[in-house]
Amino acid sequence: MRTLVTGANGLLGSVVVETLLGQGFDVVGGYHTDPPQFDTPLHEVDITDSERVATLIDDYEIDTVVNCAAFTDVDGCETSPELANKVNGVAPGVIAEVCAERDIDFVHYSTDYVFAGDSDERYTEDGETGPVQEYGASKLAGEDSVRDADSDALILRLSFVYGARGDTGELTGFPQWVASTLAAGDDVPLFTDQQFTPSRAGHVAETMVSLLEAGATGTFHVASRSCVTPYEFGEEICALIDGDDRLVGSSSMSDLNREAARPQNSCLDVSKVEEELGRPQPTLTDDLEELEGAFSDYMS
């Protein structure tokens, strides 16, 4: 496999590059503003510039494009819906068309935020969509544009992506914030009124490779089996670092004044990917154990 990974300096992108390199594949990384730290060809690529993407595909004889690039600032998308639609809605479809014309594989990442989150049931791949904010609407438009352009594309919907960066091994985002705050002896207020199925970036990348090797196409939910609140997620992190669980406090989404609404329960049903690959998806506890080394700076 000779792969072009766009968004290679993002959390997921860096982990996808590291995973592919680790499995012996040739990788070209496309980054937006700052380059990641990999010993592999790296090029500045804005995914809205499809000619640039096509040139890289042809120059490197790429056979698989993995699009990890997206405008992921949920509140930023609310105030810049045109940019959200350009990057998340239109560009993925144009890249899918470039791939379809060349008969090469295209992998695209989407989100649980395509759902309204007002159901108690887990969402299956063919569940009714209904985004409640511009980010989800733009990502749903992206799914549709990819499907229209390339019926063989692989679309993986994720939920609350977390992990350690692929190039530096550095823990980022929610787990880093929770662990560092607890390690400093400060309170961590966490929502008890939101639920999702966290996707560990490393497992997502491995699952993507397995799906490509299995020749899978279409839409799959790739997330953990555990449907949890941020509060429950924080409790697990606290246990992992042997922190003081009295510091884990509860809060509500309504405590924050944010531009964009969030779905209340966007837990994904993962049985389709489990059946396709003949193995279970991990639980949150399994995933956190895999990441244990990245928490070493915060252990009590």
Ligand X SMILES: NC(=O)c1ccc[n+]([C@@H]2O[C@H](COP(=O)([O-])OP(=O)(O)OC[C@H]3O[C@@H](n4cnc5c(N)ncnc54)[C@H](OP(=O)(O)O)[C@@H]3O)[C@@H](O)[C@H]2O)c1
What radius of gyration do the chain's Cα atoms show?
Answer: 19
Q: Pick the stretch among 32-40, 115-123, 187-195, 245-253 that binds ligand X (CB under 6 A).
A: 32-40
Question: In 3D, which of 244, 253, 294 has the Cα closest to residue 15?
Answer: 294
Q: Is 92 near ligand X (CB under 6 A)? A: no
- By CB under 6 A, the residues from 70 to 89 that bind ligand X are 70-72, 87
Give me the active site residues, please. Answer: 135
Q: Is 133 near ligand X (CB under 6 A)? A: no
Q: Is 19 near ligand X (CB under 6 A)? A: no
Q: Is 107 near ligand X (CB under 6 A)? A: no
Q: Is 267 near ligand X (CB under 6 A)? A: no
CB closer to ligand X out of 236 and 247: 236
Q: Pick the stretch among 122-130, 153-161, 209-217, 280-288 that binds ligand X (CB under 6 A).
A: 153-161
Please state, as a whole number, how many other Cβ atoms lie within 10 Å of the Cβ of residue 16: 30
Residues in CB range of 49: below 8 A, 6 or more apart: none
Q: DSSP code of 99?
A: H
Helix 173-183 with 230-240: angle, nearest 10 deg: 60
Cα-to-chain-centroid distance, residue 190: 21
Q: Give whole-number Cα distances, 29 to 114, 119, 179, in Å.
A: 27, 38, 30
- By CB under 6 A, the residues from 185 to 244 that bind ligand X are none
CB closer to ligand X out of 87 and 247: 87
List residues binding ligand X (CB under 6 A): 6-7, 9-13, 32-34, 45-48, 68-72, 87, 109, 111, 139, 158-161
